[in-house]
Amino acid sequence: MNLAELNKVALALVTPGKGILAADESSGTIKKRFDGIDVVSSEETRRDYREMLFRSSEAMTRNISGVILYDETIWQNARDGTPLVKIIEQSGAIPGIKVDEGTQALPNCSGELVTAGLDKLAERLKKYYERGARFAKWRAVINIDKDKIPSMTAIHVNAHALASYAALCQDAQIVPIVEPEVLMDGDHDIDRCYEVSQRVLNKTFQELRIQRVALEGMILKPNMAVPGKKSAKQASVEEVAEKTVRLLKHCVPAAVPGIAFLSGGQSDEDATAHLNAMNRIGGLPWHLTFSYGRALQAAPLKAWSGKAENVAAGQRAFTHRARMNSLASKGEWKADLEKKAA
């Protein structure tokens, strides 16, 4: 492992003013997104949609540091035959790859999940590196309720798998994005999310240490401390920012170069406002930025709606969200910038 090189890639991913585009929806998830705009999900429509995003040159060169791809996409070529990976590289962004194989039911723990994909991972990483991937992602999904879930078992097995994945990535000279996601589904309040996220992060870093993962060569992709979507007690932007920063200070070693949040079902503007408010608090040991899927793609997906004549509108919508989040990564976003663009 060349740690200096891994650290360089990790720092590049969290350069102030830039963040990560998560475009790694599995075939099942992208179908759900396309169903929402009445577009058939085929190899070709998925390619056209993603090509539209990756050819948004203003956003890609100024605001996007890296793109997380799905296995299908990393091997795909654009309409003119150029590999999509090359288009990303030419914009100056770094190609990345989702390497987990989704979740399955966790035995003996009703309602809980464990992420699969460690089998043959070392071989797959080698091929992804050759194709240009310099970072990877593995998502652990932690369900949450008011008292019983998550179990210690679910936290433990998911943290163990995250650390095994991260160690294999570093061995293959690929920066691991470690993503333990505590879901927003449910009616729990923000303090319950905080408490569960704290347990999850503590266990994750314990496992990372046990499996000798070099913290300087990784990125953490956590959820923010937020109330459940159905909670009767919603939280202000300031409360989310203050509690998320406190949570991270308690759990994340300063040796980690950067933290790139998932959006997890927050509205586009909430995801931006929360990131901005955290960066305004300042004085943190790590760079804080975005690694958004839905909060970057909902607007362009709708503007495109599967029609070639809407590509420019889709790119405009993507460019706007990328710019708003770029400003938030520096604490320079203001709500009226959204209104001006509307």
- CB of 338 closer than 8 Å to CB of 269: yes
Which residue, 209 or 328, is less far from ligand 13P as judged by CB?
Answer: 328
Residue 235 or residue 295: which is nearer to ligand 13P going by CB? 295
CB of 141 to ligand 13P, least distance (A): 9
Q: What is the CA radius of gyration of the chain?
A: 19
Peptide bond into 150 cis (omega under 30): yes
What is the smallest separation between the CB atom of 212 and ligand 13P, expressed in angstroms? 25
Distance CA 89, CA 66 (A): 9
Q: What is the DSSP letter of 215?
A: G
Q: How far is the CB of 300 from ligand 13P (least distance, A)?
A: 13
Q: How far apart are CA 270 and CA 288, in angstroms?
A: 16
Catalytic choice (98, 137, 203, 221):
221
Nearer to ligand 13P, 33 or 323 (CB): 33
Look at residue 174 and give its three-state secondary structure.
coil
Provide, rounded to whole angstroms, the least separation between the CB of residue 263 and ligand 13P. Answer: 3
Q: Which residues pair with 182 in a beta bridge?
A: 142
Tell me which of 25, 51, 179, 181 is the catalytic residue: 179
* Identity of the residue, 41 or 263, whose beta carbon is nearer to ligand 13P in the bound complex: 263
230 catalytic per annotation: no
Report residue 270 as tokens.
Answer: 């909430």
For ligand 13P, which is the closer residue by CB, 126 or 230?
Answer: 230
CA atoms in the 13 A half-sphere facing the CB of 43: 8
Query: How far, in Å, CA of 15 to CA of 319, rounded?
Result: 18
Nearest to 225 by CA among 207, 214, 237, 217: 237
Distance of closest approach, residue 60 Cβ to ligand 13P, in angstroms: 18
DSSP, collapsed to helix, strand or coil, labels residue 95 as strand
Determine which helix (DSSP H) or strand (DSSP E) holds 146, and give its type and residue range. Answer: none
Nearer to ligand 13P, 3 or 186 (CB): 186
Interacting residues with ligand 13P (CB under 6 A): 22, 139, 179, 262-264, 292-295
As measured in angstroms, the least distance from the Cβ of 293 to ligand 13P is: 3
Q: Please confirm, yes or no, whether 221 is among the known catalytic residues.
A: yes
Nearest residue (beta carbon) to ligand 13P:
293
Decide: residue 10, CB within 10 A, 0-12 exposed, 13-18 middle, 19+ buried.
buried
Distance CA 129, CA 119 (A): 17
Q: How far is the CB of 71 from ligand 13P (least distance, A)?
A: 14
- 194/292 with CB nearer ligand 13P: 292
Distance between first and last Cα of the chain: 47
Identity (one letter) of the amino acid at 168? L
Task: Return the residue matching tokens 């090359």.
Answer: 86
CB 18 within 8 A of CB 326: yes
Which residues are catalytically annotated?
Answer: 179, 221
